[in-house]
Every structure is written in structure tokens, then in C-alpha cells.
């Protein structure tokens, strides 16, 4: 689709289309795919299990505010983010659902936390006391480390932390959560060990009467592979955006990709002639070639070091990108597409006419994985929700 077609079709997104004109590059996010992924998950979870959509890193590049607004319409129970900026983006869309902040914000964010009704994470008595000093009411989830070796209190220290928290009327413990260490699918025994640690910990705090109302430990891999880890709530992120490394999950959830296209346009097209001197030595240059320049560079999220084999679609056909990558521009070889013109759309991911470049192909060629591709999307690049 070219810019004029975008403009006519997405009249509700005039700002995004105006941004595209200014930037010359954009990504397309399929908001219905995100709704679909959420509905699949909801249908496959027991009714009592709440869903906290993890929208950290600006919903992995897809736009925390817009994604949250769509999921709030689907009646999702809450959200979780690591940065206060993402939480504010969600509130600015008028979303009033609970938002849990993973470790990230500092004491200086106290006013923003209260003004936006956010729930913090706490991992130690020291942290709890520091937060109490700056917040009127400290609303929190306790974070528990089950063997990830990242943030979170140890299972041994949790009972004391909960006991002390219960002594203060200004402290409200809304939940308890843990995050599984990476790739439980490939390390099933490790997942089982973490689950066993969770059960032991819960037994202890149930005995002392300090079990929080919401216990949560399952994210994307957990909800797909380990229904026994549902507890009271789950906080998947990647899954909502259609990202998963599990090809045949235990739960029959078929995901649709949220990232539909990465596109830009040609800002220059010329036939190279002898008056330019000899063509550069680098791969991809040839004398007499038609050289195109795209309005997107590594400053917009393309790889800093352009790998071999990167392609774009122009007029429905594949053309090779030519390195090195520049901050705002990348060259493209249009010799075999002589009808290409200034202003034409270049699709780096997605469909153009009959031609298609898939997410898997882009991730492989760019030397990353799907989540790396999403997370590499830069926030200043306009997003069109299609």
C-alpha cells in the first residue's frame, strides 16, 4: 500500500499517517491479531485465572498504550510493565485497569506512582521501608525468586517479609509473583523444580496466614506448556503479540503475529554512470546499476551492520539492500526493477502484491530472533494499527 492509500484508508489515524510522511518509514501492527491472541488465551484458561498482560518495552515495540486500550476492551484483568513511561502511556489512553510495575521505577517516581494508581514490586524489607517513606499507601506485589537469580526475595526470606508487611496499615499486599528462568520448555526439570519451590513456599505462608490473594508465576512459555502453573493469575507478554518459540504447545493456542509490516519509501533513484567515477568496491555495487535509497536506516532500527542477503520488496519484487547501513538511509539495488520510481514503497517485512517477506526470514537474515526483531523496533518510527 502506498502513502496515499494509507491516508485514504486510515482516516482515523491521521496523526500516524502524518508521521509517516515526515519520517518516511513505518511499521504496521495488527491489533486484531493481538485481540485474537488474548481471546485464545482467555478461552484456554480456567475462568478464575486472571490475566495481567505484560506490556514491557512499549509492548515489545508494538505500542503499550494502544495495545492496552484494545485489551482493556476485551476485559483483560490488568497489565504489567517495567518502566513507568509504559505505565503512563497506558493511563494516557484512558485505561483504568490495575497496572503492576516490575522492578524498575525508583523512589523519585513516588508521585507518578500515586497519581497513576500503580502497584509496585517489592523484594526485601529494606525496599519496603524505603517505599513506605515516600508513598502514602504502599500497594505492592511481593516478587519471589524461585531460581532465576534476578530480582525477588528468596523463598527463605519471604515469610518474614510478608509478616512485617502485615504489621503496617499503610501497606497493601495485593499479590505475590515469580518469573520462571528462561526456556523452561528446553529444561523441563528446572521448571518442575521452580514449581515445587513455589508450592513449598505457598504451604509455609498459608500456615502463617499471609498468603496474598493473587499468586502468579506463568508467562508465555508457562501458559502454553504448564497448566499446573496457572495459580490465581498469569502475566504473559510475548504471547499476546504472537511471539512464541513453542511449535506444538500443550494448550492449543494458535497465535497470530502482531507485527505485520516494516516499510519505507524510496527517496532517491538514479542510474549510476561513469561521471561518478569508478563504482565502490563493496559488495552489491556494479557499474550502470540503478541505485535506490530508502528513508530508513540503522537509527530507525535496521541492523547497524547490514548482514548479507537483506532484501526489500519494490513493485512486488525482491531487491537486495547494499551496505553499509547508514543512520537515516540504506541503499537498494533496483537494476532489475527499472520501473521503480521516487516515492515507491519498500517493504522490508510483510506483503507487497504477490510477494512476501516473513517474520522468520527477516529475523534470520537480520541475525536475531522474533522477539529481538520486535524489541528492536524504535519508538519514534510511526506505527499504523491495521
Ligand X SMILES: *Cc1c(COP(=O)(O)O)cnc(C)c1O
365 contacts 310 by C-beta, under 8 angstroms:
yes
Residue 141's beta-bridge partner residues? 121, 175
Residue with smaller CB distance to ligand X, 7 or 368: 368
Letters for 69-108 (x = contact with ligand X by CB under 6 A, - = none) are: ---------------------------------x------
Which residues, 322 to 381, sit near ligand X by CB under 6 A? Answer: none
- Least distance in angstroms from the C-beta of 208 to ligand X: 25
- The values of phi and psi at residue 290, to 5°, are -100, 120
49 contacts 233 by C-beta, under 8 angstroms:
yes
Letters for 148-167 (x = contact with ligand X by CB under 6 A, - = none) are: --------------------
Asked if 226 touches ligand X (CB under 6 A), the answer is no
End-to-end Cα spacing for the chain:
12
Size of the site for ligand X (CB under 6 A): 11
Letters for 282-321 (x = contact with ligand X by CB under 6 A, - = none) are: ----------------------------------------
As a whole number of angstroms, the distance between CA 184 and CA 182 comes to: 6
Residue 384's beta-bridge partner residues? 28
Q: Which residues make Cβ contacts (< 8 Å) with residue 31, sequence separation at least 6?
A: 66, 67, 70, 258, 385, 386
- Least distance in angstroms from the C-beta of 300 to ligand X: 24
Q: Which residues make Cβ contacts (< 8 Å) with residue 173, sequence separation at least 6?
A: 140, 141, 142, 162, 165, 166, 210, 212
Residue with smaller CB distance to ligand X, 214 or 294: 214
As a whole number of angstroms, the distance between CA 303 and CA 367 comes to: 9
Letters for 19-58 (x = contact with ligand X by CB under 6 A, - = none) are: -----------------------------------x-x--
Residue with smaller CB distance to ligand X, 19 or 235: 235
- Least distance in angstroms from the C-beta of 223 to ligand X: 8
234 contacts 51 by C-beta, under 8 angstroms:
yes
DSSP E strand boundaries for 179-218:
214-218
Residue with smaller CB distance to ligand X, 30 or 235: 235
- Least distance in angstroms from the C-beta of 96 to ligand X: 22
> 25-29 and 383-385: which strand pairing?
parallel
Q: How many CB atoms lie within 10 A of CB 178?
A: 26
Counting DSSP H helices and E strands in the chain, the numbers are 13, 17
The residue within the footprint of ligand X, chosen from 37, 220, 325, 352 (CB under 6 A), is 220
CA dist 207 → 158, 159, 165, 304, 335 (Å):
13, 10, 16, 55, 74
Letters for 188-217 (x = contact with ligand X by CB under 6 A, - = none) are: ------------------------------
Residue with smaller CB distance to ligand X, 239 or 377: 239
Residue with smaller CB distance to ligand X, 56 or 139: 56
Letters for 229-268 (x = contact with ligand X by CB under 6 A, - = none) are: ------xxxxx-----------------------------
- Least distance in angstroms from the C-beta of 65 to ligand X: 18
Residue with smaller CB distance to ligand X, 180 or 314: 180
- The values of phi and psi at residue 108, to 5°, are -70, -10
Binding footprint of ligand X on the chain (CB under 6 A): 54, 56, 102, 179, 219-220, 235-239
Amino acid at each position: 500500500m502506498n502513502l496515499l492509500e494509507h491516508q485514504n484508508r486510515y482516516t482515523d489515524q491521521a496523526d500516524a499517517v502524518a508521521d509517516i510522511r515526515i519520517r518516511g518509514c513505518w511499521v504496521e501492527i495488527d491489533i486484531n491479531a493481538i485481540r485474537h491472541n488474548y481471546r485464545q488465551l482467555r478461552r484456554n484458561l480456567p475462568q478464575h485465572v486472571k490475566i495481567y498482560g505484560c506490556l514491557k518495552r512499549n509492548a515489545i515495540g508494538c505500542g503499550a498504550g494502544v495495545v492496552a486500550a484494545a485489551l482493556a476492551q476485551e476485559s483483560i484483568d490488568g497489565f504489567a510493565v517495567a518502566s513507568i513511561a509504559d505505565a503512563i502511556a497506558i493511563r494516557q489512553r484512558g485505561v483504568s485497569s490495575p497496572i503492576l510495575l516490575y522492578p524498575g521505577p525508583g523512589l523519585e517516581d513516588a508521585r507518578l506512582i500515586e497519581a497513576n494508581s500503580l502497584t509496585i514490586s517489592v523484594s526485601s524489607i529494606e525496599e519496603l521501608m524505603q517505599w513506605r517513606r515516600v508513598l502514602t499507601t504502599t500497594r505492592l506485589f511481593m516478587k519471589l525468586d524461585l531460581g532465576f537469580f534476578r530480582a525477588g526475595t528468596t523463598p527463605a526470606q519471604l515469610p518474614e517479609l510478608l509478616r512485617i508487611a502485615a504489621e503496617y496499615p499503610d501497606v497493601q499486599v495485593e499479590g505475590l509473583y515469580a518469573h520462571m528462568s528462561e526456556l523452561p520448555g528446553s529444561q523441563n526439570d528446572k521448571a518442575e523444580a521452580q514449581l515445587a519451590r513455589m508450592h513449598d513456599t505457598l504451604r509455609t505462608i498459608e500456615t502463617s496466614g499471609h498468603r496474598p490473594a493473587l499468586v502468579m508465576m506463568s508467562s508465555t512459555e508457562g501458559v502454553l506448556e504448564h497448566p499446573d502453573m496457572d495459580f490465581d493469575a498469569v502475566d504473559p507478554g510475548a504471547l499476546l503479540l504472537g511471539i512464541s518459540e513453542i511449535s506444538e504447545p500443550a494448550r492449543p493456542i494458535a497465535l497470530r503475529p502482531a507485527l505485520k509490516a516494516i516499510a519505507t519509501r524510496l527517496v532517491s533513484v538514479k542510474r549510476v554512470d561513469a561521471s561518478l567515477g569508478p563504482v565502490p568496491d563493496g559488495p552489491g555495487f556494479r557499474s550502470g546499476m540503478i541505485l535506490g535509497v530508502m528513508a530508513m536506516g540503522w537509527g530507525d532500527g535496521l541492523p547497524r551492520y547490514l548482514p548479507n542477503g537483506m532484501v526489500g520488496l519494490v513493485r512486488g519484487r525482491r531487491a537486495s539492500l547494499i551496505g553499509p547501513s547508514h543512520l537515516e538511509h540504506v541503499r537498494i539495488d533496483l537494476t532489475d526493477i527499472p520501473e521503480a520510481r521516487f516515492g515507491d514503497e519498500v517493504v522490508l517485512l510483510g506483503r507487497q502484491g504477490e510477494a512476501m517477506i516473513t517474520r522468520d526470514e527477516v529475523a534470520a537474515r537480520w541475525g536475531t530472533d522474533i522477539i529481538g526483531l520486535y524489541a528492536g523496533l524504535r519508538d519514534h518510527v510511526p506505527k499504523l494499527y491495521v
